[in-house]
C-alpha cells in the first residue's frame, strides 16, 4: 500500500498530535511509549478522530466517514457484539465474504455457534480478527491486539496474525507499545513520542536493541514424531502427542546459534547448513536473516565479525528442539 497521512489532533488536557508521513509498505508499525499518540494517530487514519488527511493508494479518504473507508479496526478488547453469535459477528459487515477461510485460518471453526460470553480472551481476539478479515478491508488497523496476553498466548496470537497476513494479503497498521511485537509482523515502523514522529524507517532501524526481543514465526509439515519439515529442512521440536499436518511454530532469534563448521557431539537436536541472505545492524547487535528456512538470528557485532558473516556466507545453524515452540495447527 501507499499511504499518506497528515493528522493534527489537539486535546483539552494539553496533548497535541502532529504527525505527517507517507510510506509504501504492506505492514506499518506505530511504536512508542504509552500516551505518545500511537492510538490517536491510528484513530485519525480510521476516521474516528476527524480532520486527518488520509490518502491510501492514491484515493483520498479524508472526507469519507468511518463506515465508508473500508478499514478494519481491531482493538485489544475484542469488542465482539455481545448479543450476536460468533457466526453473526463474522457476517455482520455488509461487505462480509465467505467466513470459512478466515475461520479456518484462525482456528475458530468450532466456535461459530457460541456467544461471545462463552469464549476465552484469546478466542475472542481471534474472532475479532476474523471478523475484520471477513469484511474484506482495504486496510487493517490493529490497536495493541496482543495487549494483556501472557507470553505463550501472545506468541500464538502474533503467529496467527502473521499467518493471516500471509494468507489474505491485507495491508495493515499495527500499534504496539512493545517494540518486540512488531518486528516479526512489520517491515516499516514509525516511532512517536509526545505526539510527534521522532523516527521512521525500516522496523529494524527504528527499534532499539534494548527493547528488542525478536521472534520468528514459521510453518511446517509434521514429518514424524517430534520432527517438522520447514522449507525442506527437518527440524526437531517438542510436539504434543498426536500432532499431524501443518503446524505453526515460533523460535526466538536469540535462541539460534551460528557456527562456521558443523558442531559435533552437541546436545542441540537441530544442526543444519544455512546461507546468510542479508544482515542488518541493530546498535551493537546484528540481525542475520537466513535463506532457507527464513529465520532471523540475533548475534552480537563481535560474533558477526569473528565469524566473518556477510550475505552469501555459508554456515550452520544450531537450535535446541526445546527452543522451537509449537503454536497450533496452521
Partner 1 sequence: MDCISLSILVGLAATLFSLPPAVAIAWFLERTKSRARGFVQTLVMLPLVLPPVVIGYLLLRAFSPRGALGRALAWLGAPVAFHWLGAVTAAAVVGLPLFVMMIGQAMKAVDPRFEIVSRSLGRAPWATFWRVTFPLCWPGILAGAAISFARGLGEFGATIVLAGRIPGETETIPLRIYAELDAPGGEGRVAGLVAVSVLLCVACVVVSRVLEAWYHRRLELER
Does 293 sit behind a cis peptide bond, omega within 30 degrees of 0 on the bond before it? yes
Of 36, 46, 102, 287, which lies in the binding site for partner 1, with binding defined by CB under 8 A? Answer: 46
Residue 190's closest CA among 25, 13, 16, 31? Answer: 31
Phi (first) and psi of residue 39, to 5 degrees = -65, -35
CB 5, min distance to partner 1, A: 17
Q: Which of 313, 279, 316 is nearest to 298 (CA)?
A: 279
Considering the complex, state which of residue 72 and residue 184 has its C-beta at the smaller distance from partner 1.
72
**Cα radius of gyration (the chain):** 21
Which one of 14, 63, 94, 242 is in contact with partner 1 (CB under 8 A)? Answer: 94
User: Which distant-in-sequence residues (6+ apart) come within 8 Å of 140 by Cβ?
Assistant: 71, 72, 74, 132, 133, 170, 171, 172, 173
Q: Tell me whether residue 135 or residue 323 sits nearer to partner 1 (CB atom).
A: 135
Instruction: For residue 167, state whether it binds partner 1 (rule: CB under 8 A).
Output: no
Distances (CA, A) of 167 to 104, 117, 170, 241, 330: 11, 28, 9, 27, 11
- Measured CA to CA, the distance from residue 32 to residue 18 in angstroms comes to 15
66 near partner 1, judged by CB under 8 A = yes
User: Contacting partner 1 (CB under 8 A), which of 72, 184, 195, 220?
Assistant: 72
Exactly one of 23, 55, 79, 205 binds partner 1 (CB under 8 A); which one?
Answer: 79
User: Taking contact as CB under 8 A, which single stretch among the options 11-19, 65-73, 193-201, 284-292 is the one that binds partner 1?
Assistant: 65-73
Binding-site member from 14, 58, 63, 82 for partner 1 (CB under 8 A): 82
Based on the shown chain and the rule CB under 8 A, indicate whether residue 12 belongs to the binding site for partner 1.
Answer: no
Assess contact for 270 and 235: CB atoms under 8 A.
yes
Q: How far is CA 49 from CA 18, 29, 39, 40, 137, in A?
A: 13, 19, 10, 7, 19
The least CB distance from residue 174 to partner 1, in Å, is: 16
- Which lies closer to partner 1 via its Cβ, residue 1 or residue 115? 115
Is residue 267 within the footprint of partner 1 (CB under 8 A)?
no
User: Could you write out the DSSP letters of every residue in 96-151?
Assistant: ---SHHHHHHTT-GGGTTS-GGGS-HHHHHHHHHHHHHHT--SEEEEESTTTT--H
Q: How far is the CB of 141 from partner 1 (least distance, A)?
A: 8
Spell out, one character per residue from 118 to 137, where the chain touches partner 1: x when CB under 8 A holds, - when not.
Answer: -------------xx--x--
Q: Does 168 bind partner 1 (CB under 8 A)?
A: no
- For position 116 contacting partner 1 by CB under 8 A, the verdict is yes
Kindly state whether residue 173 participates in binding partner 1, applying the rule CB under 8 A. Answer: no
| Length of the chain measured in residues | 330
Asked if 171 interacts with partner 1 (CB under 8 A), we say no
**Which residues fall within 8 angstroms of residue 111, CB to CB, at 6 or more apart?**
86, 119, 123, 127
Q: Which residues on adjacent β-strands are paired with residue 142?
A: 74, 174
Q: Other C-beta atoms within 10 Å of 153: how many? A: 16
Using rule CB under 8 A, residue 59 touches partner 1: no
Is residue 107 part of the contact set for partner 1 (CB under 8 A)?
Answer: no
Choose between 48 and 101: whose C-beta lies nearer to partner 1: 48
Contacting range for partner 1; rule: CB under 8 A; set: 27-35, 59-67, 270-278, 317-325:
59-67
Binding region for partner 1 (CB under 8 A) out of 52-60, 63-71, 250-258, 267-275? 63-71
Q: Interface residues with partner 1 (CB under 8 A)?
A: 46, 48, 65-73, 75, 77, 79, 81-83, 92-95, 116-117, 131-132, 135, 141
Amino acid at each position: 500500500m501507499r499511504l499518506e497521512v497528515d493528522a493534527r489532533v489537539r486535546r483539552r488536557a494539553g496533548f497535541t498530535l502532529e504527525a505527517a508521513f507517507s510510506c509504501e509498505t504492506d505492514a506499518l508499525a506505530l511504536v512508542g511509549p504509552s500516551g505518545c499518540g500511537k492510538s490517536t494517530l491510528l484513530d485519525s487514519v480510521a476516521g474516528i478522530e476527524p480532520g486527518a488527511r488520509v490518502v491510501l493508494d492514491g484515493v483520498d479518504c479524508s472526507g469519507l466517514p468511518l463506515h465508508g473507508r473500508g478499514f478494519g479496526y481491531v482493538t485489544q478488547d475484542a469488542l465482539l457484539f455481545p448479543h450476536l453469535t460468533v457466526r453473526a459477528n463474522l457476517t455482520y459487515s455488509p461487505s462480509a465474504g465467505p467466513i470459512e477461510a478466515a475461520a479456518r485460518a484462525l482456528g475458530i471453526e468450532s466456535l461459530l455457534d457460541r456467544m461471545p460470553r462463552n469464549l476465552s480472551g484469546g478466542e475472542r481476539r481471534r474472532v475479532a480478527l476474523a471478523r475484520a478479515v471477513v469484511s474484506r478491508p482495504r486496510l487493517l488497523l490493529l490497536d495493541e491486539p496482543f495487549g494483556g496476553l501472557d507470553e505463550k498466548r501472545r506468541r500464538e496470537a502474533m503467529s496467527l496474525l502473521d499467518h493471516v497476513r500471509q494468507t489474505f494479503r491485507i495491508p495493515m497498521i499495527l500499534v504496539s507499545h512493545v517494540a518486540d511485537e512488531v518486528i516479526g509482523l512489520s517491515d516499516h515502523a514509525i516511532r512517536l513520542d509526545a505526539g510527534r514522529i521522532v523516527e521512521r524507517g525500516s522496523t529494524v532501524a527504528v527499534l532499539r536493541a534494548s527493547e528488542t526481543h525478536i521472534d520468528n514465526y514459521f510453518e511446517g509439515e509434521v514429518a514424524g514424531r517430534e520432527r517438522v519439515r520447514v522449507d525442506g529442512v527437518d527440524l526437531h521440536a517438542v510436539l504434543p502427542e498426536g500432532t499431524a499436518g501443518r503446524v505453526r511454530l515460533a523460535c526466538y532469534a536469540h535462541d539460534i546459534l551460528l557456527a562456521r563448521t558443523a558442531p559435533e557431539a552437541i546436545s542441540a537436536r537441530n544442526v543444519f547448513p544455512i546461507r546468510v541472505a542479508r544482515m542488518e545492524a541493530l546498535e551493537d547487535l546484528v540481525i542475520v536473516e537466513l535463506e532457507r528456512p527464513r529465520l532471523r538470528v540475533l548475534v552480537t557485532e563481535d560474533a558477526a565479525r569473528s565469524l566473518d558473516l556477510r550475505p552469501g556466507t555459508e554456515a550452520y545453524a544450531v537450535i535446541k528442539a526445546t527452543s522451537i515452540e509449537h503454536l497450533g495447527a496452521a
